[in-house]
Structure 1
Amino acid sequence: MPRLYLIRHGKPAATWGGHDDDPGLDETGQAQAEAARDFLMALPADERPSRVVSSPLARCRETAEPTARALGVEVEIDPGVGEIPTPANLAAADRGAWLKEAFQGAWADIQGDLDYDAWRRDVAGALVALVARGDTAVFSHFVAINAAVSCLTGDDRVVGFRPDHTSITVLQSDGKTLTLVEKGREASTSVL
């Protein structure tokens, strides 16, 4: 069965409460991206990803680049594995407070102009479509990874899992559904 390696981006140069809406990686994040590449390249040939997919945001693209270079492929950009959308009427400065509140509850309880429970199912659906084309490394975000894991485990909490930077969660597919093989490394994180 094809495998999907769901990797949280490396440590960004700024946090989601900072002034930069799309920060790249800091030095630690760059080292983490190289360590993720090394882990993926050390997999047996029949389990190694042949594709690299990333969220459109810089921290994910920069985390994906070392793996793509090692595999000799281009990073494919897919908004379906991107960051959770902020409500349209929310000021950028208020995103941090909105996220903190959202993280305390269930997907259906998130306040905004979007059905966030449907968004989490869309993230899982995007992953099913990606792995249908073979073993794939997907570089994504804390919330999107929680969305996928919550769908697979039936846990309706927005945060049921705390993937560390460059944590690698392994999923597999029978072509129609995803199965959680192994959660990635968890750590205390500044997201909460």
Structure 2
Amino acid sequence: MHEIVLIRHGEAAKSPTDDDPGLTALGHKQAEQLAGHLNVLYPGGQGVRLMSSPKSRARQTAEPIASLWQKPLEQLNDVIEIPSPEGVSLAQRGDWIQAFLNSNWNDLTVAQHAWRNGIIRALKSIESRPTQTSGPVETTLVFCHFMVINAVIAEIRQDARIAQFRPDYTSQTRLSLDNDVLTIVELGLERHAPHRIQ
């Protein structure tokens, strides 16, 4: 059995013009606190692999623990945030996401279906992917996004609702991978105060 931990990025700077915003000052603080917490759970990073969405907010959330453990941060392109439908501008994306949360996974565009299927394939193939980490790997930490986490949970539950839960910044959702089967071990902490999804 392989443990996969989906970690949502820290608070990101919201922007109607920047398609790849980094973390806010609070987000950087959250990432530092996360690193301390992860080092307690996995002392020295023994047996742990680090992977991240290519987006700055995810990578910046992972960088403190990568630095602490002196481990490579491997890019996993498949866990990037959901693509907007054609015709939805960057300035309109926030409103589209908020409305989308109340819809259904069956309503995805062809590109979005490919995105979701790619996430699941990537997670199921983690054990067989070449790694830059030395020694055996028992746990993979995947730094990613709100919609990625919800897409995975919906797939495992076979539930068509978009919003399965509202993972807070730097929350950790734990899965197990055993013989190509993903299972939910524990959902991450939820954020109950409303906020715009980035």
- State the TM-score, normalized to the length of structure 1: 0.88
AA in 2 matched with 1:143: M
Aligned length: 188
In structure 2, stretches of 5+ residues that fail to align are 130-136
Contact 1:7 1:140 in 2 (8 A): yes
Residues 49 and 96 from structure 1, CA distance in 2 versus in 1: closer, same or farther, beyond 3 angstroms?
farther
Match of 2:95 in 1: 97
Partners of 2:10 and 2:148 lie apart in 1 by 15
Residue in structure 2 matched with residue 128 of structure 1 by the alignment: 124
Give the superposition deviation at 1:47: 8.7
Match of 1:144 among 143, 148, 169: 148
**Take 1:32 and 1:49, find their aligned partners in 2: how far apart are those partners?**
24
1:116 to 90, 112, 116: 112
The CA distance in 1 between the partners of 2:23 and 2:44, in whole Å, is: 30
* 1:165 matches 2:169: yes
The 3 A distance-change label for structure 1 pair 179 and 24 is same
CA gap of 1:157–1:150, structure 2 versus 1, over 3 A, is same
Aligned-pair CA distance for 1:191: 3.1
**So what's the TM-score if we normalise by structure 2?**
0.86
Classify the secondary structure of the residue corresponding to 1:70: helix
**Identity in percent:** 39
List aligned pairs for 1:20-99, cutoff 5 A.
20-44=18-42, 50-99=48-97
Q: Could you tell me how far 1:151 is from its partner in structure 2?
A: 0.8
Q: Are the counterparts in 1 of residues 167 and 188 from structure 2 also a CA contact under 8 Å?
A: yes
CA deviations 1:19-68 (Å, max 9, x no partner) are 32211111111111112212221125599652111111100000010111
Q: Taking structure 1 as reference, are residues 148 and 48 closer, same or farther at Cα in structure 2, changes over 3 Å only?
A: farther
Contact 2:94–2:196 (8 Å) recurs in 1? no
Does the C-alpha gap of structure 1 residues 46 and 92 become closer, same or farther in structure 2, counting only changes over 3 Å?
A: closer
Look up the SS of the partner of 1:42 in the other structure: helix
Distance 1:76 1:46, change over 3 A: closer
In 2: Cα distance, 1:79 partner to 1:29 partner? 22
Structure 1 gap segments, 5+ residues each: none
1:19 partnered with 2:53: no
